[in-house]
Structure 1
Amino acid sequence: MPHSQGEHATARTRDGRLLYLQHTPGPAGVPTVVLEAGMGTTRSSWAAVQRAIAGAAPVVVYDRSGLGRSAPDPGPPTLDRLAADLNDLLDHVGAEDYVLAGHSWGGPIVRVAAAQRPERIRGLVLVDPTDEGCELYFSPAFAARERASAAVLPLLARLGLTRLAAGPVARRLPADAAADLRAEWLTPAGIDAHLAESASLPDDLCRLRAEPPPGGTAPVTVISGTATAGIGRRSRAALNTAHAARAGAGPERRHVLALRSGHLVPLTEPELVAGEILRLTRDRRP
């Protein structure tokens, strides 16, 4: 039986690392959709959205370095490096144009990658993205929480306790993707990759704020969660205010509220996310 996330392949980065990807074919002439996961998260987190898109557009999911089945990166996974890896993957796929969707930290990654090669980007969908316009990420409380995570998560991973969190997520996915997620996400190696990415986050956000990547002319949709569980009312309001500002920063921009979701919108409202992605694949502007 074919895997719900498509055919297996690898893409080589410019410095020789192999990134694992899965590709689902689609109709000719339709932009290829590439789904960028959140910080420390494997490709399987997108499986419900990929299933909702299947048959309407070609779709690619992949694992960033050190996550899932991709080789680790000996260098620091800065935002610019992650965006360069994404562009290397797009070179490998070889499509004429793309719609990029990024969840959480995947949002800044696809923004920077699109700014590096804007000529092949048909549109962006940013799903509850990390956004440098949100003061939350520059607060002492956020810094303290990141330090605590860096201290505690490796021990929890070695004890196998982090992987307990995979259960509720996996239950929302197709069976084969759920099995992959349980086996590959929140492992000790995956936690190390997550913490390496998060270590670069403060400097990356400061650089984004000081030198934001050019917005380009491609349309952008920002999807915000609305539930406050796990984030709190004030933080959710601050994040969604930044999302609204991002959506209002230029023409052809749209802000959509996911009324049944918190942060994990690709899991809780995959049809909403898929609909916004497919809307951009149908945009026939030159």
Structure 2
Amino acid sequence: MRDAPGRRLAVNGRTVYVEQSGPEQPDHDGAWVVFEAGAGCGRTCWDTVRPLLADQARLITYDRAGRVRTGPLSTPLTVDGMADDLVALVEALVPGDFVLVAHSMGGLVARRAAERLRTRVRGLLLIDTLPETSPIYDDDSWARTTRQVDRMLAVAQALSRLRLFGRLFSANVRPHYPADAYETMLAEDFTPAGTAQTRREMRALAAALPSFRTDPPEPPTCPTILLSAARPAGGRERQHALTRDHQRRYVETLPHGRYESVDSAHLIHAEQPALVAARIRELLTS
């Protein structure tokens, strides 16, 4: 599974780590797919989906600047900066139009990048992305949530020096991934350095929300599918219902948007990779 060749790519004065797989010359124009991971995740989170598309499209997965394989950050991490990096990556590697796939926080990065890439994005698949209009992001409640999450991640960062705790923190991931993909995650993501990067990404998200609310990205005009996780985390049923309501409302504002409920928790691409691959194929041929 972990057979995709990788290399560092210079973007905007820093680097990302990119892996490419699938046919080098796709059978038809636009058979390119670029993946944007959620907060705390890198290229390996798509290892459940890649094999299902390996003979149909050229696939690009990558680690954002600041992750283990990219080297240290040279500039502060922001959502707009991540979007700039994604745009630069596309301009360097993708010759024409493509399908953009993004999970969770990566959806905000992808939407900002799509605003700049415009007609090059032939389809957009948002996997359990929460629109900035959700009341969950209201100032007081989100500030408390951000502080709580950061405190938990600080503890995880310290404890993950011991491999045993890395396995404990990744217990929800392990059942869904091939052994080599999981071991790569364990070595790169569930470590002090990986957790420090997750904290930076979460802080960047919190800092970006006010500007997203006052100046949101232009609505994508390409076909857009939003997959919404139907299964809430324990004790978060009310918040989860609000999330799904605002996901649906956001998609209904788009000229070619579609909302789809999926029997899964938040990591839909891990639990339901065949469905995710099917929606990508649909966007490739739309």
How does the TM-score come out when normalised to structure 2?
Answer: 0.91
- How much identity, in percent, do the aligned residues show? 31
1:282 aligns with one of 260, 271, 285: 285
Letter of the 2:205 counterpart? L
1:70-85 alignment to 2 at 5 Å?
70-85=70-85
Structure 2: runs of 5 or more not aligned: none
Equivalences, count: 279
Does residue 180 (structure 1) correspond to residue 184 (structure 2)? The answer is yes
How far did residue 117 of structure 1 move? 1.4
Aligned-residue RMSD, C-alpha:
1.8
Structure 1: runs of 5 or more not aligned: none
Letter of the 1:176 counterpart? D
Given that 2:31 and 2:56 are in contact with CA atoms closer than 8 Å, whether structure 1 keeps it comes out as no
Does residue 241 (structure 1) correspond to residue 282 (structure 2)? The answer is no
User: Which residue is 1:207 aligned to?
Assistant: 211
Deviations 1:95-120 (CA, angstroms, capped at 9, x unpaired): 31111111000111111001011131
1:92-111 alignment to 2 at 5 Å?
92-111=92-111
Change in 2 beyond 3 A, CA 1:37/1:135: same
1:164-175 alignment to 2 at 5 Å?
164-175=168-179
How far did residue 202 of structure 1 move? 2.6
Task: Could you list the structure 1 runs, at least 4 aligned residues long, displaced by more than 6 angstroms after superposition.
Answer: none
1:264 aligns with one of 263, 267, 285: 267
1:24-43 alignment to 2 at 5 Å?
24-26=21-23, 27-29=26-28, 30-43=30-43
1:142-153 alignment to 2 at 5 Å?
142-153=142-153
How far did residue 65 of structure 1 move? 1.3
Given that 1:221 and 1:255 are in contact with CA atoms closer than 8 Å, whether structure 2 keeps it comes out as yes
2:19 aligns with one of 22, 26, 30: 22
Deviations 1:244-264 (CA, angstroms, capped at 9, x unpaired): 1121112221111112x1111
Deviations 1:198-228 (CA, angstroms, capped at 9, x unpaired): 1122331221111111124211110000101
How does the TM-score come out when normalised to structure 1?
Answer: 0.91
